[in-house]
Amino acid sequence: MNDVNKSYISEEGMTDLWNVWYTELHDGLSGLTIKIDKIVESVQSEFQRIDVVESKDFGKLLVLYGSLMVCDNDNNSYNEMISHVPLFTHPNPEEVLIIGGGDCGALTEVLKHPDVKQCTMCEIDKMVVETSKKHFPDLTKGLEDSRANLLFEDGKKFIENSDKKYDVIMLDLSDPIGPAADLFQKEFHQKVHDSLKDDGIMVAQTESPFYNKSTVSSLYKNLVDIFPICKMYTCFMPIYPSSYWSFSFCSKKHDPINDFQSEKYSKLTLDTRYYNDDIHKGAFALPQFVKELLPEKALR
């Protein structure tokens, strides 16, 4: 199981800064290893363990049940790519729903778009949001926007019990273990499809194509059965396993390349660190080993 190294407490109860290291493990393979200078906070919520640690190169890092989520000194690529790709594809994304997204980074990016009338974020773990507000204030700026509608509920139950239709739904989920496991299943994706308007778009993080090959393959087999348009796009994410991360773009109508709103992008002049119009298009170009993981329908 992924976890912060337990050897950081010395006999005197003080942090031993010389020997504290964090490593993510993936079925026998190691991911990023970081020297930790400080254990800032460690708490147990109703749903998971939440750690905030600090390192020289990455600044503060948020760790949920042993997996790195966000940090101070990355390029914000995950939040920008999960948000701006669908929002610059849909011609009028007024109603947006985020399932998960507890660090609020995606929420903040979504609300950079003036055509969004409301962004509802449904996060199961209130403590993740509170921890992020305390330690990652740049990511949580969107909470100050009057268009932000924050709900602390189970995302699966919320989708099942709501009749509202959305233009864009974003599944900003942690790994498919723990509280997020049910949200990677075909039944849930079908419910999301049914909660979209007739030209709606769903995007979801779909793990590392290098470390999580079987998960990626099974996810896309399910998604192409549900959505008429289903494509993978990727980004560089330095703190995530293999530093290469994927997203699914699933739509009832809009193609992410052919329907890219280039004029809207040019007028908005977004303040971003990773996303731009070239990245929007180039992110859908996939290496051969990734293409081999996907069903033929996802490659059209």
pLDDT band at residue 183 under the 50/70/90 scheme: low
Closest to 48 measured CA to CA, from 174, 208, 215, 184: 174
- For the chain, first and last CA: distance in Å? 37
- Integer Cα distance of 278 and 222 in angstroms: 29
Q: Which of the residue ranges 6-15, 40-49, 163-172 would you say has the lowest mean pLDDT?
A: 6-15
| Per-residue model confidence (pLDDT) at position 182 | 57
Contact 112, 272 (CB under 8 A): no
pLDDT digits (tens, 9 = 90+) for 8-39: 323 334 444 457 888 877 666 667 888 999 99
Domains of the chain: 3-71 (2.30.140.10), 77-299 (3.40.50.150)
Is 43 a residue whose pLDDT tops 90? yes
> Tokens 């147990």 sit at which residue?
44
If one compares 278 and 18, the residue with the highest pLDDT of the two is: 278
Q: Which residues pair with 30 in a beta bridge?
A: 25
Find where tokens 């990773």 sit.
274
Task: Provide the pLDDT for residue 10.
Answer: 32
- Give pLDDT, residue 27: 67
pLDDT for the residue 19: 72
- 13 or 188, higher pLDDT: 188
Catalytic residues: 172
Does residue 195 carry a pLDDT above 50? yes
Please give the pLDDT value at position 1: 33
The tens digit of pLDDT for each residue in 91-138 reads 999 999 999 999 999 999 999 999 999 999 999 999 999 999 999 999
Question: What is the pLDDT, as a whole number, of residue 6?
Answer: 35
Q: Is the pLDDT of residue 285 over 90?
A: yes
Closest of 187, 216, 194, 213 to residue 204, by C-alpha: 216
**pTM value?**
0.91
| One-letter-per-residue 3-state SS of 138-187 | CCCHHHHCCCEEEECCCHHHHHHHCCCCEEEEEEECCCCCHHHHHHHCHH
